[in-house]
A and B are shown apart, each in its own frame.
Chain A
């Protein structure tokens, strides 16, 4: 019986060691959609490079800046049957409708005018904004497995990172692994950590990415995206011009929000909803989030942090 006890001790020591090996993680880095990607996996680590490649190749489909992309062809011809673009447009349509098109996917002329990705450091003139606004009043006509656009051009910058998280998570689901995918500030939580603990996601302060306004403790299957006025902007004569354009005014949106973080079961929706909520402000965001069973952390311009009720016990504000 004592010998059995000794064997039990040896087995448990070895299992502890193996568990420690299992709970070490491997991270692969990449770059796409003008931002940094990373895939951190526990268990099998080879799928990490596959996810990086999948997301990098997705950019070749949905990026306006790649001349051979399906999106560029759509903008040139007015038609596409690309499954990714059709899926994105179909799912975003009701959100765009809710905002009365203050958020929508046909704002390429306005995005190009404001050129936030580039070197613009002086705001465009009123006439330039009016002209771009008129060129951004288009329509998407959705068919069964294709779509056409009229009157404008499509820009998927507001949803690309979230959608990339979906594609990455779908690929990972085929492997016996768990981990976290980040595309810029959009995050996919996949599976359960070997320790059984929840995933911890810091919600960054708009002033300093490494200062946290609080932490979300979440299970796998959740996707997180944030929209705010501090990620990309320029300042001119004391005013900040951020990168999220209001489709009604043609100017960077103004609301009572400095940033909003959305949590839901889809990367595409978390990204689209965070942009839409940032544009429409706190009060109008609530019914929209409820429709999608999504939760949010709002950082208001007065500095207050408010969350939807579903984040009670999930979001812990930094003291």
Chain B
């Protein structure tokens, strides 16, 4: 038999390895789409709302609403209402109600590592 430089077995092994690696990378890749507004109370996970569906939830005096893909605090019992300033939609977007100890973060991989405020 003539000696081939690349055998069929070599090609199959290379394809199989690439396929396995791709599958692993897809499995651990952050899900950029299908984002959620994740609500924490005193640092503990409380609940989350998907941005894909209009909804409202009230957590410890803070009402979070999702409308047309954006999450924002529509009501709060806190005195300063700082938490109501911002509309959240990008991964990493955040709003904090310090008096009520409620934090809302949009999940997924963010283009920022942190926000200083």
B40 neighbours in A (Cβ, 8 Å) = 29, 31, 36
B21 neighbours in A (Cβ, 8 Å) = 13-14, 16-17
B55 within 8 A of A: no
B10 neighbours in A (Cβ, 8 Å) = 2-3, 6
Number of residues on chain B facing chain A (CB within 8 A): 41
A63 within 8 A of B: no
Whether B98 and A200, one on each chain, are in contact in the complex, defined by CB atoms closer than 8 angstroms, is no
Whether B115 and A31, one on each chain, are in contact in the complex, defined by CB atoms closer than 8 angstroms, is no
Whether B28 and A232, one on each chain, are in contact in the complex, defined by CB atoms closer than 8 angstroms, is no
Q: Report A22 CB to chain B, min CB distance, Å.
A: 10
> 1/0 per residue B27-39: CB within 8 Å of A?
0111000000000
A311 within 8 A of B: no
> 1/0 per residue B1-43: CB within 8 Å of A?
0000110001001100110010011001110000000001011
- Nearest B residue to A205 via CB reads B117
B85 within 8 A of A: yes
A32 neighbours in B (Cβ, 8 Å) = 43
B82 within 8 A of A: yes
Using A52-B43, A187-B114, A226-B117 as known contacts, say yes or no to A24 and B24 having CB atoms under 8 A apart.
no
A185 neighbours in B (Cβ, 8 Å) = 115-117
A202 within 8 A of B: yes
B96 within 8 A of A: yes
Interchain CB contact (< 8 A) of A119 among B17, B79, B82? B79
Interchain CB contact (< 8 A) of B44 among A29, A193, A216? A29
> 1/0 per residue A221-245: CB within 8 Å of B?
0001110101111100000000000
Interchain CB contact (< 8 A) of B95 among A120, A180, A209? A209
- Nearest B residue to A17 via CB reads B21
A204 within 8 A of B: yes
Whether B45 and A202, one on each chain, are in contact in the complex, defined by CB atoms closer than 8 angstroms, is no
Q: Report B41 CB to chain A, min CB distance, Å.
A: 8
Q: Report A18 CB to chain B, min CB distance, Å.
A: 9
